[in-house]
Amino acid sequence: MKTSTLQDVARVAKVSTATVSRTLSNPNVVSESTRRRVSEAVKITGYRINRAARNLRTQRAHSVLVLLPDLANPFFSAILEGISRNLSQQGYSMLIASTKQVHDSGERLIDYLDDARADGMIILDGGLDADIVEMLETAPQANRILFACEWIDGANFPSVRCQNRQGTRTAVNHLYDLGHRKIAHVTGPEGNVLMHSRKDAFVDEVEHLKLEQRPEWIIDGDFSLAAGCQAALKWVGLHDRPTAVFCASDQLAMGFIAELSRRGFKVPDDVSVMGFDDIDLAEHFIPPLTTIQQDRLMIGETAAKMLMARIVTPNEANSDQAAVLPVSLVVRESTASLR
Amino acid sequence: MKTSTLQDVARVAKVSTATVSRTLSNPNVVSESTRRRVSEAVKITGYRINRAARNLRTQRAHSVLVLLPDLANPFFSAILEGISRNLSQQGYSMLIASTKQVHDSGERLIDYLDDARADGMIILDGGLDADIVEMLETAPQANRILFACEWIDGANFPSVRCQNRQGTRTAVNHLYDLGHRKIAHVTGPEGNVLMHSRKDAFVDEVEHLKLEQRPEWIIDGDFSLAAGCQAALKWVGLHDRPTAVFCASDQLAMGFIAELSRRGFKVPDDVSVMGFDDIDLAEHFIPPLTTIQQDRLMIGETAAKMLMARIVTPNEANSDQAAVLPVSLVVRESTASLR
DNA sequence: CTGAAAGCGCTTACAG
DNA sequence: CTGAAAGCGCTTACAG
């Protein structure tokens, strides 16, 4: 069974293909009777538009590429959901690839835009190499590239992110309000924009609150469970242990707590621990994790919306260079008053 | 800056577009000197193929749709990674959508194939409505549809899955070998093929080992953390508590354990608990989870490979109707000998 | 080994 | 409001 084309519909409806096309894309420019005849013919023939043909003709791929650092990282799933929701609403498809894979396959990121596979891209990876960033910046399609969650310092791409600094301040103040005066921070990976943003805000706030600061209370991590475990060992080894620890991600916090309980420490009795993100697991963890919530669904939706605006009306760009979405404190049971 | 086309390359190389096309897709059918001239011209013009044009001409979308029940579920990320790896190797792109979203947007799944957006689809959702399944089965492109992880009982689609029955048997025997004779099972969601497959295998194996069986030792769940918590409450309420519990998913097991420790029970001291899947978190959980490992990366790769074979050579299909991938027992600390 | 030409299935000025 | 015609950028028999 051959799938039917505009021609087939036109023949059945006894109109030209132009008219069928118009009827389908802009019904109110044709007459009532034409509309009826065409929609009847569509039903009879079982016509489905051929997107490849439309894409070629309109010079639009009608799809957007989402670029992740790593497909296997569950942090991104809710963001994808948000992006996809907004995209499909506008008849766009979502293409997914990981930075690493694109690189390994010898392709260049910009190829996706160059070869008409995608009309724009949302990049969730702030760790791109400098030469790749430069290639993206100087590309003619640069205005159809947008970052979400992470971003590139110094580059001029629009971005969607959460209030990393504000969230960090809120976290430190939550611990402060509970009476904690010795607070440690487990950081994200070196070089990561989120890591720096949160660490800087942490240092600032601790200073602002006139709390004691020690270099060994800033513990290097990398957002992962494993790094959280490592950090816990460092904490255990400190002579003068902080009574509270703010971790740059929930995964870090979970690893931290896991390792501590393995060694006989209790959270929050022996130390209060906070995360950042509020991933699904956070509320089911033992103990349920106090954390800073970012609305990943909204980050995704906002990113898609901003990108689509730039794709549809490329001229009016640069009106919204960045969207910074609010975060909120979620108090659960991994933090407690200092006794 | 306009992107250059085959025409531009042809002009610079002083050959026909046909020759350029040949050189690019099948270099060894042209002469050495032509090859040199063309690749020189490609470099000069910065030519990138226009995929929309190629797709239209070749009647191939060069992309595959992966259909998830739910984008926000982290269980699938490793599978996507596997699929994407294989696909991009063959120059194919990966489109992602969720069953729910497609349905909500008023589209039909088969549209993706019908309108030349995708050449095939990998469905990770065994819970499709019967009418949708029928539409897929009777479609002309039915042979380019494949299920992975889950499948549809009674439908004739090829599928990739893990050894659900064998894994379950292995789990029960692990507990048996540790001395447990009273073993409970927390199931997946009613109606789910994996739930039935694992539950049936559980019942069979318990019977085969001549263990005591009681209806209340089969606890209804649904793969989620929350359901695991619920199940734990049921276990606590039993007069004669099983000494070991096999959960149909890791998430269930984690919820189960979390709720138990909230109530002062210790795992594995008071009860041994096992999961199924071996998700990333399993080894970092407290206690690290004994579970049945399925290789999600390989499931993804195998699915992509099987589908691509059917897309490239549609005729030779039906040679491999199902791939059943091995699982393995991973013993950690959530199970222990009965004392 | 190479070129001229047709055509994939649409959309969109242009003319009426 | 409608149709004839051009053309998006490729690939591929066909002929030489």
DSSP assignment of A116-177, as one string? TS-SEEEE--TT--HHHHHHHHHSTTGGGEEEESS--TT----EEEE-HHHHHHHHHHHHHH
Q: Say which range, A134-138, A286-290, B70-74, B136-140, has the weakest mean pLDDT.
A: B70-74
For residue B324, pLDDT over 80 is answered with yes
Asked whether residue A61's C-beta has any atom of DNA/RNA strand C within 7 A, the reply is: no
In this prediction, residue B316 carries a pLDDT of 63
Q: Could you tell me what percent of chain A has a pLDDT over 90?
A: 80
> Hey, what domains does chain B have and what are their CATH numbers?
6-49 (1.10.260.40), 61-162+297-325 (3.40.50.2300), 164-294 (3.40.50.2300)
The chain B residue lying nearest A256, using CA atoms, is B284
Q: Which structure tokens are listed for A126? A: 């702030």
Nucleotides of D under 7 A from a protein CB: 1-5, 7-13
Secondary structure (3-state) at B54:
helix
Cβ-7 Å neighbors of strand D: A 14-19, 22, 29-31, 33-34, 53, 56-57, 59; B 5-7, 17-18, 21-22, 24-25, 47-50, 53-54, 56-58
Q: Could you tell me what percent of chain B has a pLDDT over 90?
A: 81
Say if CB B169 and CB B331 are below 8 A apart. no
For residue A319, pLDDT over 90 is answered with no
Q: If pLDDT is split at 50, 70 and 90, which confidence band does A262 have? A: confident
Supply angle C-alpha A61, A67, A70, rounded to 5: 145
Average of per-residue pLDDT across B107-131: 93
* Chain-chain contact of A74 with B71 (C-beta, under 8 angstroms): no
In this prediction, residue B256 carries a pLDDT of 95
Q: Which structure tokens are listed for B27? A: 């270099």
Q: If pLDDT is split at 50, 70 and 90, which confidence band does B234 have? A: very high
pLDDT averaged over chain B?
93
Distance CA A73, CA B49 (A): 32
pLDDT averaged over chain A?
93
Q: If pLDDT is split at 50, 70 and 90, which confidence band does B318 have? A: low
Say if CB A184 and CB A234 are below 8 A apart. no
Q: If pLDDT is split at 50, 70 and 90, which confidence band does B320 have? A: low
In this prediction, residue B286 carries a pLDDT of 82
Average of per-residue pLDDT across B74-94: 90
Largest CA distance in chain B: 88
Chain A residues near residue B96 by CB distance under 8 angstroms? 80, 84, 94-96
Q: Which helix (H) or strand (E) holds A104?
A: helix A99-104
Chain A residues near residue B117 by CB distance under 8 angstroms? 51, 93
B84 closest CB neighbour out of A61, A71, A281: A71
In this prediction, residue B319 carries a pLDDT of 57
Average of per-residue pLDDT across B68-91: 88
Average of per-residue pLDDT across A303-324: 82
For residue A318, pLDDT over 70 is answered with no
Distance A56 CA to D6 C1' (A): 15
Q: If pLDDT is split at 50, 70 and 90, which confidence band does A286 have? A: confident
In this prediction, residue A121 carries a pLDDT of 96
Distance CA B264, CA B257 (A): 10
Chain B residues near residue A107 by CB distance under 8 angstroms? 88
For residue B290, pLDDT over 90 is answered with yes
Report pLDDT digits (tens) over A45-61: 999 999 999 999 999 99
